[in-house]
């Protein structure tokens, strides 16, 4: 493999524009394709014209969110650790971390399934199923939990693949699962008439396809992780290093479920047209959010590698470039949609009441979108560089803060309070990210100074994996 075809080349020495293009463009494409994957099940179930079945798989979405979150706990925590170890030229330890993440994902999925089977009836009720949808929702949940370990493993492996800068291969895995969904969904739902069980099984088998591909890549093509399946045991300290970063993913997913339920509960009080307006606006602003997400998720390995490799100049330059790219994406998209907001809203609905409420909701969501990309970028920087405390603070702020904000704003301003609550939360969280980043940047300056002094004295710069910013 030549230097310029090596993934490490893009992390270590490629020009920044070239590196960012290689790492982030496939992630942006993968995120876009992922939005299609998320609606395939609903589309084919909808062809059965059974509202109860469609409701059941909608109610089951939190199950997928939970399984994905546990996969990301081990994937993000383990993957960023692996990248930092690669930056420190310690691939052997990276293989051990990857092996632990692999087997721990399977164990986590099996434990979740066993607990779910023991409490499936209360879980189904908790999801919101009534008498008409209970049996369908229970069947869907049972099937999804039974194969849930595959979903957990898929998300963990995707992060491990991405950990060494293999963004294209990460994207290929998304393509495989989406293609398999297009095959299995109509087969199981329409041809074999397995309805909601078929929808869940199709999702599981689609994830099996990407899991097989990711294992094949890691075991045969990976630059650093070949042979990772031979490893499982790691030290307690290394486990803590994984979980202190990965736990933020679990917190974010838990808070996402809570905030969604709160928003739906308050919005429905003002009528279906308000809920529909939120649905339309959220889908519109997903475009810049997913593009920004693809950008900063693709750059996590670059941040981690340069930080661990003491290349502080390259790290700072990549962060500045990421800020510029996300700012450009957000400002251009928000400006265009705001100018043509009436036309854009009419693409989704012709209902005057939906359009009327949607104009205000869209304005609030667009302002939120200006800050959302930066919030995600701050989180990615902290995750990549092993900053456990700032990562947890950002995750908790983004989740918990929304609860008092929507309650207080609803009490004071009614519907307008509900509409602007997400925007207020996003702005405050982004400001919190700025404050934490300023502290982190001061640490980088000290490291740069120590490195310069150390080079003059022939000493090694003092920076260690797992070292947190002192924010408390």
Instruction: Taking the CA atoms of 51, 56, 57 and 62 in sequence, report the sign of the dihedral they define.
Output: positive
- Whether 276 shows a pLDDT value over 80: the answer reads no
- 366 pLDDT more than 50: yes
Residue 81 has pLDDT above 70, yes or no: yes
Confidence of residue 35 (pLDDT cuts 50, 70, 90): low
Cβ–Cβ < 8 Å for 278, 267? yes
Name 453's Cβ contacts closer than 8 Å, sequence gap at least 6: 459
For residue 269, pLDDT over 60 is answered with yes
Q: How many CA atoms lie within 13 A of 234 on its CB side?
A: 27
* pLDDT above 90 for 100: yes
What is the C-alpha separation between 185 and 440, in angstroms, rounded? 47
Q: Is the pLDDT of residue 455 over 70?
A: no
pLDDT score recorded for residue 463 = 44
Q: Say whether 6 sits in a helix, a strand or coil.
A: coil
Residue 110 is inside which H or E element, if any? helix 91-118
Q: What is the mean pLDDT of residues 316-336?
A: 90
- Whether the pLDDT of residue 1 is over 60: the answer is no
pLDDT at 389 over 60: yes
Q: Is residue 130 packed enough to be buried (19+ CB in 10 Å), middle (13-18) or exposed (0-12)?
A: exposed
The Cα 161–Cα 158 span in angstroms is: 5
Please, are residues 284 and 343 in contact by the beta-carbon 8 Å criterion? no
Q: Which residue has the higher pLDDT, 275 or 433?
A: 433
Percent of the chain residues past pLDDT 70, beyond the cut: 90
Residue 142: predicted pLDDT: 94
Residue pair 9/3 in contact (Cβ under 8 Å)? The answer is: yes
Q: What would the pLDDT profile of 378-387 be if each residue is shown by its tens digit?
A: 999 998 888 8
Looking at residue 450, its pLDDT comes to 59
- Coil, strand, or helix at residue 310? coil
What distance in Å separates the CA atoms of residue 400 and residue 397, rounded to the nearest whole number?
6
pLDDT of residue 172: 92
User: What digits encode the pLDDT tens for the residues 185-209?
Assistant: 899 988 898 988 999 999 999 999 9
Please tell me which of 121-125, 146-150, 293-297 the model is most confident about, judged by mean pLDDT: 146-150
Return the minimum-mean-pLDDT range out of 43-47, 176-180, 220-224, 306-310.
43-47
What integer pLDDT is reported at residue 362 of this predicted model? 87
Report residue 349's pLDDT band, with 50, 70 and 90 as the boundaries.
low
Q: Nearest CA to 316 among 3, 38, 43, 16?
A: 16
Q: Which residue has the tokens 């905030």?
A: 259
In this predicted structure, the answer to whether residue 375 has a pLDDT above a threshold of 70 is yes
Of the given ranges (16-25, 247-256, 391-400), which has the lowest mean pLDDT?
247-256
- Say if residue 402's pLDDT is above 60: yes
What's the half-sphere exposure (Cβ side, CA atoms, 13 Å) at 351?
Answer: 13
Report CA torsion sign: 311, 317, 319, 325: negative
Q: Quick one: pLDDT at residue 462? A: 42
Which of 20-24, 34-38, 288-292: highest mean pLDDT?
Answer: 20-24
Query: Quick one: tokens of 317?
Result: 């330059």
pLDDT tens per residue, range 215-260: 999 999 888 888 888 888 888 998 988 888 888 777 777 777 777 7
């Amino acid at each position: 493999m030549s230097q310029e075809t090596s993934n490490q080349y893009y992390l270590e020495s490629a020009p920044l524009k070239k590196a960012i293009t290689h790492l982030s463009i496939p992630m942006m494409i993968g995120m876009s394709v992922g939005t299609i994957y998320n609606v395939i099940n609903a589309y084919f179930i909808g062809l059965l014209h059974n509202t109860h079945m469609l409701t059941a798989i909608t109610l089951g979405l939190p199950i997928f969110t939970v399984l994905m979150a546990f996969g990301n706990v081990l994937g993000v925590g383990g993957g960023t650790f692996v990248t930092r170890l690669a930056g420190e030229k310690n691939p052997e330890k990276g293989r051990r971390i990857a092996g632990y993440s692999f087997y721990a994902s399977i164990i986590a999925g099996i434990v979740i399934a066993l607990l779910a089977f023991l409490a499936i009836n209360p879980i189904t009720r908790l999801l919101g199923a009534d008498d008409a949808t209970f049996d369908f929702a229970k069947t869907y949940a049972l099937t999804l939990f039974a194969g849930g370990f595959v979903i957990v493993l898929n998300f963990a492996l995707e992060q491990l693949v991405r950990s060494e800068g293999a963004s294209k291969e990460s994207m290929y895995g998304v393509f495989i699962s989406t293609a398999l969904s297009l095959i299995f969904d109509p087969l199981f739902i329409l041809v074999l008439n397995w309805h909601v069980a078929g929808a869940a099984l199709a999702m599981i088998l689609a994830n099996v396809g990407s899991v097989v591909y990711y294992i094949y890549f890691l075991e045969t093509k990976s630059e650093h992780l070949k042979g990772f399946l031979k490893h499982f045991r790691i030290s307690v300290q290394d486990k803590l290093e994984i979980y202190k970063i990965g736990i933020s993913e679990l917190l974010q997913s838990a808070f996402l479920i809570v905030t969604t339920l709160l928003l739906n509960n308050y919005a429905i009080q003002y009528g279906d047209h308000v809920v529909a307006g939120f649905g339309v606006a959220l889908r519109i602003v997903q475009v810049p959010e997913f593009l920004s997400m693809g950008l900063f998720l693709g750059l996590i390995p670059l941040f981690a590698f340069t930080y661990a490799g003491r290349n502080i100049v390259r790290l700072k330059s990549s962060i500045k470039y990421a800020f510029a790219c996300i700012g450009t994406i957000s400002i251009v998209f928000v400006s265009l949609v705001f100018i043509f907001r009436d036309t854009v809203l009419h693409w989704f609905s012709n209902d005057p009441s939906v359009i009327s409420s949607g104009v205000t909701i869209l304005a609030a969501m667009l302002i939120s979108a200006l800050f959302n990309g930066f919030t995600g970028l701050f989180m990615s920087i902290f995750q990549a560089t092993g900053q456990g405390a700032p990562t947890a603070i950002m995750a908790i702020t983004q989740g918990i803060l929304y609860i008092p904000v929507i309650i207080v704003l609803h009490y004071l301003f009614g519907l307008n309070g509900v509409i602007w609550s997400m925007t207020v939360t996003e702005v405050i969280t982004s400001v919190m990210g700025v404050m934490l980043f300023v502290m982190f940047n001061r640490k980088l300056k000290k490291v740069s100074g120590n490195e310069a002094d150390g080079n003059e004295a022939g000493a090694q710069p003092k920076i260690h994996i797992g070292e947190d910013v002192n924010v408390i």
